[in-house]
Amino acid sequence: MTLLRRGDRVALVSPAGPALPSRVAAGAEVLRSWGLEVATPVVEPWALPYLAGSDEARAAEFVDAWCSDVAAVFCVRGGYGCLRMTDLVPWKDLPPRVFVGSSDVTVLHAELGAVGQPTVFGPMPGTADFVDDPVAQARLRAVLFDGVSSWTAGTPVVPGAARGVLVGGNTALLAASVGGPRWERPADGAIALLEDVGEEPYRLDRILTQLVRAGWFEPVAGIVLGSWTGCGDVSDVLADRLSGLGVPILGDFGFGHCAGSWSLPLGVAAALDVDARTLTVV
């Protein structure tokens, strides 16, 4: 994955929900403190207040920012909306860029991964998970500028090791994408990163069951579990739905909607060693 350097120009976009202008401004200042030139999004009020504009406007903003003279594109926040605009983006025509986002942005990671573009699943500059969390900021910067590519964390769930391309993100969005016009299962041997927020155990059961029934896990060779903030005690449902897949699983890895979140690449080959609690880009 291409690294960023001081002086690079980057764009902030709003492909999902609207972010607080004050929070976007604070996030942009953090990025400027890294030596980046930052272009911020223009959000117009729209009929559905949970969206940062119409589908056409959000898709156009995304494409225009991506195709401008920038080294990276950062999503300001998730929420909901990426699934509505993804069919309006000419994914195969997009030039290479560094891309950062998480949560609802899982949908866009999948689209970019399908056309061979690596991305970074990390905290977004229009959210408290970035603005109010200097540890998460530092961890994202280390990936983007220093090329940090190995992490040690978590709790072993199912022992073993695997090698494959990193895929995944927010579990609910992965399930919501099933059956879409360009939906496809992960590549054979993939390592799946899974996390979620605000889903009760029975809802997470339904989400995982949908993915199991759709065959999403059939090519997966290993699983890394992140945070489950606001989901209650999900240990039993995760064990029930995932342990029987017969692949190594590393839990509590500390990415997603949590304090000090790791920023992890998607669309790149990596090695998972559950016993050593390591994930390493290869």
- Answer yes or no: do 113 and 181 share one domain: no
The neighbouring-strand residues paired with 74 are 12, 100
Measure the CA–CA gap between 186 and 266, rounded to whole angstroms.
12
Give the integer Cα–Cα distance in Å for 96 and 91: 11
Q: Which uninterrupted H or E stretch holds 196?
A: strand 190-197
Q: 37 and 100 share a domain?
A: yes
End position of a domain, from candidates 89, 120, 146: 146
Residues 132 and 225 in one domain: no
Is 103 noted as a catalytic residue in this protein? Answer: yes
Domain presence at residue 105: yes
127 lies in the same domain as 193: no
- Choosing from 115, 146, 177, the residue where a domain stops is 146
Q: Is there a catalytic annotation at residue 109?
A: no
Task: Give CA–CA dist 222/2, Å, rounded.
Answer: 26
pLDDT of residue 45: 78
Kindly report the pTM of this predicted structure: 0.97
Count of domains observed in the chain? 2
**Same domain? 142 vs 157:** no
Catalytic-role residue among 61, 111, 195, 199: 195
Looking at residue 1, its pLDDT comes to: 77
- Please measure the distance between the N-terminal and C-terminal CA atoms of the chain and give it in whole angstroms: 12
Same structural domain, 167 and 252: yes
Residues 160 and 194 in one domain: yes
Could you tell me the residue range of the domain that residue 36 belongs to? Answer: 9-146
Claim to verify: residue 127 and residue 167 sit in the same structural domain: no
* Paired sense of beta strands 98-101 and 119-121, if any: parallel
Please tell me which residue in 14, 61, 102, 103 is annotated as part of the active site: 103
H or E element at residue 104? none
Domain harbouring 85, CATH code = 3.40.50.10740
Mean pLDDT by 10 residues, the chain (282 residues): 94 96 97 97 85 96 97 98 97 98 98 97 98 98 97 98 98 96 92 98 98 97 98 97 97 98 98 98 96
Spot the catalytic one: 111, 199, 227, 257. 257
Q: Regarding beta strands 119-121 and 150-152, do their DSSP bridges make them parallel or antiparallel, or are they unpaired?
A: unpaired
Q: Decide if 3 is inside a domain.
A: no
Residue 181, sorted as left (phi over 0), alpha (psi -120 to 50) or beta, turns out to be alpha
What is the distance between the alpha carbons of residues 263 and 281, in angstroms, rounded to a whole number? 13
C-alpha to C-alpha distance for 9 and 100, rounded to whole angstroms: 14
User: What is the H or E stretch that residue 63 is in?
Assistant: helix 55-66
Q: Is residue 2 part of a domain?
A: no
Among residues 113, 146, 179, the one where a domain terminates is: 146
pLDDT at 41: 82
68 catalytically annotated: no
